Each structure stands twice: as C-alpha cells, then as structure tokens.
Amino acid sequence: MRRPDPAAVRWMILAALLVLWEVVPLTGALPELFLPSLSKTLTVLYIDRHIYFAALLVTLYEVALSMLIACGLGILIGALVGGLAMLRELLLPVFSSLYAVPIVILYPVFTAWFGIGSSSKIAFAGIYGFFPVMLSTAAGIRTIDPQFLLAARSMGATLPQQITRVIIPASLPTVFAGLRLGGALTIIGVVVAEMLTASAGIGYLVTLNRTILDSPRVFAAILAILVLSIAYYMLARALESRMVVWQSAGRRQQQSSSRGEPVAVPTPAAA
Amino acid sequence: MQHLANVSQLRAQAGEAAIEVEGLSHTYAGANGSVPALVDISLSVRKGRFVVIVGPSGCGKTSLLMMLAGLRQQTDGAILCHGQPMPKPDPERVGVIFQEASLFPWLTTLDNIEFPLSLRGTSREERRRRSQAMLSLVGLEGFGERYPHELSGGMKQRVSIARGLVQDPPVLLMDEPFAALDEQTRMTMGHELLRIWSTTRKTVVFITHSLTEAVYLADEVLVMSARPGRIIDHIEVELPRPRTYEMMATDVFGRLRDRIWQQIRKTA
C-alpha cells in the first residue's frame, strides 16, 4: 500500500477539526457557552473586526518589543556566559534553575513596577523569552567543535576573525533554535499578562468576554491568537532554514561521524 | 640520544633544513604535579622530504606537531622553521591538515579552500582562481559548490589537503589525516597524497600510528616511544619512488615495518 503524504494528512486533519468545530455545536451536543460554532465565531470576528484589529496591533507591538529584549539580551548575555569560563561557572547554574521557576508568579510585581499598560507586558514577556535564547546561545558557543578553532588559528585567523568567521556561524543553528522557542514564549508571556491584568490587547479581550459569558467573542480572540502564533512559527522556520542551509543534514551526519559510532540502520520488518 | 643529535647535525649540513628541533621537552601541569609529555626531542627535516613520525597512542606526537605549527608552546628547547622560530601560526610557512576533516560545514567546498585566503583579504578573483586550481589538483572538479556533508570521508580529506596547500606554504604538517577513513579509502588517499606531493614538492611531516602507512609514504621514519615521548629510532626508507602497492609485499617493506614495530614494542 502506498503511504499517504504526511503533509496532505495534516491538512486533512485540520480540515476535519474545522468541520467538527462547525458541526458539533449545531447538533446541540454541546451548549454554545462551551463551544460556539465556527461560523458564529467568524461572524462576531467580522462584526467586531475593528476592535479585534486594534487589540491585535497592541499585542503585536508588545510582542515585537519583548522579542527584541529577549533576543538582544539573550544573545548578548548568552554569548558572554558561553564564551567566558568564569561567568559560565558563576551564572549558568543560576540561570538554568531560574528557567524552571514559573516566572508568571512575578507578574503582579511587574504591574507594580511598570503599571498595567504595555510596559509591564513587554518587560514580563521579554524576561520570559530571554531564558531559552540565553541558554541556547551559551550552549551553542560552548559546544563548538574545538577542531574548528584550532584549524582557524592554524590558518592565521585573529581573535575577531575567529569570532565572526567561526564562532558565530558554528553556533547559529543552536542560537536559532533558542530564538524560535524564546519568540514563542514572548507571545505566550504577552497574552498571559494581558489576560491577568490589562486594558488592551487580544488577551484582554479573552478575559473581558469570558467574564460576560460571551463565548463566541472569547473564541474569536482565541482564534486570532492561534493564527498569530502559527504565523510566527512558520516565519521563524522559514527564516531559520534560509539562514542555516547546512544544518539539518550536516549537523546530524557530522555528530554521528565525529563520535565514530556506527550509524543505526533501521531494518525492515519481516514480511 | 647523543648519537641521534649528531646524526641530525650531519643531516642539517648535508641538505638545507626546513625544520630543526633542538632539545625540545614538554611537561603538562597535571593533578599530581607536572607530567612529562615529550623528552629531549631533536630532529631535522630537510627541504622537500617526506618525514613520517610514528608512535603509540598518547606518545605526544600530535603535541609535537602542534608545536611545529606554532599552535602550542613547548616548555623547553627550540624550533626553527626555515630558520625562524614559530611563536604563533604562520600559514605562509606552514599549512596544517588535521585528524578529522575540520572543514567548516557552513561553507561550500570552494569557500572552505579559500578560507585562509579570505582571512588576508585576497581579491575574490584571485581566491577563485587559486581554489579552483587546488580543487583540480586534488581531483575534485565539479564538487566546488557542494557542502561538506554532501562529500564522502575521503573527499573531505582531499578538500582539507587543498585548503592546506592553497597558500602554497613550503611546509605541510599532517596530523593522522586518514585515521578516520576506512582501510581501502586510506590506501587510495595515501597514494593520492604521494601524487600531489610529487607535483608540489613540499616538505611534509606526517603523523600516523599505522606502520604500513609510515613505510609506504616516507623518505624517513622517526619512531617515538610511549609517553613520555622521545625519538628512539630514525629509519631511512630506501624504497624507490613512485611507490606502488606491490612494494608492500616485498621483503624490504616487511623488514622496515618490523623494525618499527620492534622499536615501539620495546618501550610499550
């Protein structure tokens, strides 16, 4: 039997979910408060499009700035921590354990410091996204094959050349993985913060409409966030594959060969 | 030891020396005080010779090569390369080819070969011209735009050799360049290396732990003892060139290989 194309199956599952979303509420199996139908959700989204668009702009603005903070600080501090042994021993255990703390408990403190406007969301989500970026940047620099640097030195590379021509490109794949994760966390951070305490943004619309039990408008906001996150993910992926052409195949092969381990070959099941 | 020093002095006089090492020793700072790694190494490599250093694992032969390349500093003794010390790497004088293909996976074959030139701001046209020439020298025409992960192990080492040669240094240092390859590829690459060497006539210092490889490639073999490493034998390989695979079956070849093995076994 021919195996179906996974991409096609994915689209089919998505389509099936959308159909279920429309059909199940119509059958009356679930009350509208639990799940309003897709068409109803889209209708209120269209009616209130100006409100949702304005809220989305606020959220996007907060996400953009917090991503800037998360990526900028994350790369900067990650590079320092990854590059300097002393800082690494001092800071890495602290940062690694802080990463495990649910930082959202600090959000009330952020509102006290920065108010309930955009600043507190940006600061909170920036710190939320900072950790994966910083940790993977440090890991990316720390795990560079020392052979690369030795080879570069033997060819006469100065320290600045070693940084720009070897360390940066060699750590790019790991850094990018951190950026993708950190960026996704800033979106979560902004939306959660908006849901907790806010007067604007998509997360605020979720909370607002939930308190007045307006289910279609809650789901309209959820749909908007869903689209925003998926768009971000696809953009990040596209950017990553464009910047790191050699990564996907090259990394895996290089790692398995440098350890000298035999590559496991999957054996076909007995017919 | 005294005898060897005399021999190398004689050699230095007989032909002009590309590399001279005098009384080199090296100790590492270990957990329980200092550990001697290399003891009183003296050697001389004449220009255009193919010298192989062979020794058991951990005897410090790689460390010695790193010092010849200016990548590591010895505790004691002097190294002269074309009459000058090597306090830091100098790619104009010495090209280094490493154990595992240390090609940069984010660069294409041609960009990898050009890397040392690009560090010194050679013009783009000049870089392309020279890297293309190196690519054909190592027999990889048509693979210039491939990435390292698209090449086989043997091809990667060909690219490494091309990169080591692109600045046309008179001395080439090779640190077990074929150790990661399978036996057949290894034989082919050894043969290829001799072909490339015969057209470029570089001075080569080649490190290996394979006795067969040592005898097959070398004009002279230097045998090192187990740690702490010292030079315990110096063998002239009187096999004619070009070398052929058939020579490996000859008595001369067998006797030379056996002599190296006996020397290494004594110290192990």
Is B180 within 8 Å of chain A by CB?
yes
pLDDT at A244: 75
- Residue B22, SS3 per DSSP: strand
Mean pLDDT lowest for which of A6-15, A91-100, A118-127? A91-100
Instruction: For residue B65, give the chain A residue with the closest CA.
Output: A154
For chain A, give the mean pLDDT: 85
Instruction: Identify whether residues B61 and B132 lie together within a single domain.
Output: no
Q: What's the complex ipTM? A: 0.86
Least confident of A197-206, A239-248, B178-187: A239-248
pLDDT at A160: 94
Interface A-B: count of C-beta contacts within 8 A:
75
Instruction: Name the pLDDT band for A221 (thresholds 50, 70, 90).
Output: very high
Kindly state whether residues B115 and B213 are assigned to the same domain: no
pLDDT digits (tens, 9 = 90+) for B98-121: 887 689 999 999 999 999 999 988
- The CATH number of the domain where B77 resides is what? 3.40.50.300
Distance, in Å, from the CA atom of A231 to the CA atom of A178, rounded to the nearest integer, reads: 18
As for how many domains chain B has, the answer is 2
A246 and B91 within 8 Å at the Cβ level: the answer is: no
B87/B183 same-domain check: yes
Q: What residues contact B78, with CB distance under 8 A and at least 6 apart?
A: B20, B21, B22, B23, B24, B85
- pLDDT level of residue A265 (50, 70, 90 thresholds): very low
Considering the domain boundaries, does residue B233 fall inside one? Answer: yes
pLDDT tens figures, A183-215: 999 999 999 999 988 788 999 999 999 999 899
Same domain, B135 and B175: no
Give yes or no for A148 touching B (CB within 8 A): yes
Side by side, the strands of the sheet bearing B76-81 are B33-46, B17-30, B76-81
Of the three residues B152, B168, B184, the one that is the final residue of a domain is: B168
Looking at the domain assignment, is residue B75 inside a domain? yes
| Distance (Å) from the alpha carbon of B112 to chain A's nearest alpha carbon | 11
The tens digit of pLDDT for each residue in B187-243 reads 888 998 999 999 888 999 999 988 999 999 999 999 998 888 889 899 999 888 889
Three-class SS of residue A45? helix
Asked whether residue B98 is assigned to any structural domain, the reply reads: no
Structural domain boundaries, residue B148: 104-168
How far is B155 from B138, CA to CA, in rounded Å?
A: 9
Domain boundary at B118, B133, B168, which? B168
**B70 and B187, same domain (yes or no):** yes
Q: Is residue B78 part of a domain?
A: yes
Regarding whether B227 and B201 lie in a shared domain, the answer is yes
What band does A19 get if pLDDT is binned at 50, 70 and 90? very high
* Confidence bin at B268 (pLDDT 50/70/90): low
Question: Are residues B65 and B163 part of one domain?
Answer: no
Tell me the nearest-neighbour CA distance from A259 into chain B, angstroms.
10
- Strands B76-81, B94-97: pairing is unpaired
**Of B138, B168, B198, which marks where a domain is finished?**
B168
Q: Which amino acid is at A1?
A: M
Write the pLDDT tens digit of every residue in B114-160. Answer: 999 999 888 999 999 999 999 998 889 899 999 998 898 889 999 99
Q: In one letter, which amino acid is B200?
A: T
Nearest to A18 by CA among A45, A40, A37, A34: A37
The pTM score is 0.79
Same domain, B221 and B116: no
The answer to whether the Cβ–Cβ distance between B116 and A156 falls below 8 Å is: yes
Per the domain annotation, does B251 fall within a domain? yes
Does A71 have pLDDT greater than 60?
Answer: yes
Is position B99 within any domain?
no
Give mean pLDDT, residues A85-107.
86
A257/B120 CB distance under 8 A: no
Same domain, yes or no: B188 and B159: no
Asked whether residue B117 falls in the same domain as residue B68, the answer is no
Domain for residue B35, yes or no? yes
Does B175 lie in the same domain as B185? yes
Residue B257 lies in a domain: yes
| Judgement on whether residues B7 and B85 belong to the same structural domain of the protein | yes
